[in-house]
Copies of this chain bind each other. A is one copy, B any other.
């Protein structure tokens, strides 16, 4: 029988299910990626905004219907007001825009970084509290504007260090047109969209059969969904003689976007009309970026052209944006074995030999800190031999020993833990 190290466990408090504590190593990685992303957003002329973590519940039900309540942390406060922890940040940014930013020069290029909450079964790479980085482009709808937006999504992930990314681009005006050609009612369309979004084509086929659509039409529709060549799209749309301009305009827009993408440095992409996202919200160009390394939960980024301002009481305005799953980005970097340049915990470790030398150690340590160095001053009165052990634990490069003799001579003894070299240097030069 062995005895593990023991401490009383009777009264442990757990953190809530689906949430995480991040230790110092995780935080170094996360802040590193966050800083990189902030820099990329800014290089594209985007500026940061921040909205409350809590919003009035009606903001989200206005956008997504009452059904969304079950997927959120929603509750009443003591004053009886229905509140929700935000499940995403776009809605809040649009609310902020409508209430306070409509008069600003356009286009507005806003980015955000924050925590969001969902109430569902926790699973790998799906947490109840999770972080999103994202942006909204308000007031520009040229093909170059949309190409820049997609390029920004890709550049953010590449600059963060990711190697393997799959970019897929679709257009809801074309998908909508094709669904319209199936001749279904609104109620019949809904389940189809969900199946398309899940890329479940077998299920889609069954559902179409149940709705009484002809075999030929179904096959043609699935052929369309699998079509990866933009130039073939017209042949699908021409099937019907009705109002088809929207879809053809969309095709022309898409061609231009794809052309400009190359100039933004993005050369790898696929056309994918199976991107349905949320049709209540998105209205035009849509795109998704996946990290194949992540398996089932591989989507890192999703976005497109949408319209929400009017719903929140604002004037109609071109809107587009995307959100990046920040946690998954970090997970993917780890899966790709990205070499996080772990910041050294400390550069210098200053050890006084005895109590009367503590003041001296403080002065030397503060001099180095004021020069911008990371410095640990020994606070537990370790003896020098224990201190050298602790220096290794800290990953300290240099250990400075403050001894009586040295102080009298006006020097300190400094040991390079990498080379093992030890020398005396003038105290003033520290």
Interface, chain A (partner B; CB < 8 A)? 5, 7-17, 19-24, 26-28, 30-31, 38-39, 42-45, 47-56, 58-59, 62, 70, 73, 75-78, 81, 83, 85, 92, 95-96, 98-103, 105-107, 109-110, 115, 117, 119, 128-129, 137, 139-140, 142, 144-145, 147-148, 151, 155, 259-260, 263-265, 311-315, 343, 345-346, 358-363, 366, 369-370, 372-377, 379-381, 390, 393-394
Measured in the bound complex, the distance between the Cα atoms of B119 and A316 in whole Å is 36
Apart from A17-B81, A109-B376, what are 5 other A-B pairs with CB-CB below 8 Å? A11-B313, A15-B55, A45-B374, A142-B380, A260-B362
Given A52-B129, A95-B13; A144-B105 close (CB under 8 Å): no
6 A-B pairs in the complex with CB atoms less than 8 angstroms apart: A13-B56, A13-B312, A19-B54, A43-B374, A44-B375, A263-B360
B residues in contact with A52, CB < 8 Å: 15-16, 19-21, 129
Q: Shortest distance in angstroms between A349's beta carbon and chain B's nearest beta carbon? A: 8
**Nearest B-chain residue to A112, judged by Cβ:** B27
- CB of B77 within 8 A of CB of A43, answer no
- CB of B100 within 8 A of CB of A21, answer yes
B residues in contact with A375, CB < 8 Å: 43-45
Identify which of B15, B31, B47, B362 contacts A144 (C-beta below 8 A).
Answer: B362
B residues in contact with A9, CB < 8 Å: 313
Q: Shortest distance in angstroms between A392's beta carbon and chain B's nearest beta carbon? A: 10
The 8 A-B pairs at the shortest CB distance, nearest first, are namely: A19-B52, A75-B75, A24-B47, A11-B313, A45-B376, A263-B362, A145-B379, A22-B50
- CB of A16 within 8 A of CB of B56, answer yes
- CB of A117 within 8 A of CB of B54, answer yes
- CB of B49 within 8 A of CB of A21, answer yes
Identify which of B140, B374, B390 contacts A105 (C-beta below 8 A).
Answer: B390
B residues in contact with A370, CB < 8 Å: 265
Q: Shortest distance in angstroms between A92's beta carbon and chain B's nearest beta carbon? A: 8
- CB of B345 within 8 A of CB of A10, answer no
Q: Shortest distance in angstroms between A292's beta carbon and chain B's nearest beta carbon? A: 25
Q: Shortest distance in angstroms between A372's beta carbon and chain B's nearest beta carbon? A: 7
Q: Shortest distance in angstroms between A34's beta carbon and chain B's nearest beta carbon? A: 10
Identify which of B54, B78, B393 contacts A70 (C-beta below 8 A).
Answer: B78
- CB of B144 within 8 A of CB of A379, answer yes
B residues in contact with A363, CB < 8 Å: 263
- CB of A11 within 8 A of CB of B55, answer no
Measured in the bound complex, the distance between the Cα atoms of B38 and A28 in whole Å is 11
**Nearest B-chain residue to A259, judged by Cβ:** B359
Measured in the bound complex, the distance between the Cα atoms of B102 and A12 in whole Å is 13
**Nearest B-chain residue to A343, judged by Cβ:** B42
B residues in contact with A313, CB < 8 Å: 8-13
- CB of A140 within 8 A of CB of B379, answer yes
- CB of A73 within 8 A of CB of B62, answer no
- CB of B15 within 8 A of CB of A45, answer no
- CB of B56 within 8 A of CB of A14, answer yes
- CB of B49 within 8 A of CB of A16, answer no
- CB of A50 within 8 A of CB of B27, answer yes
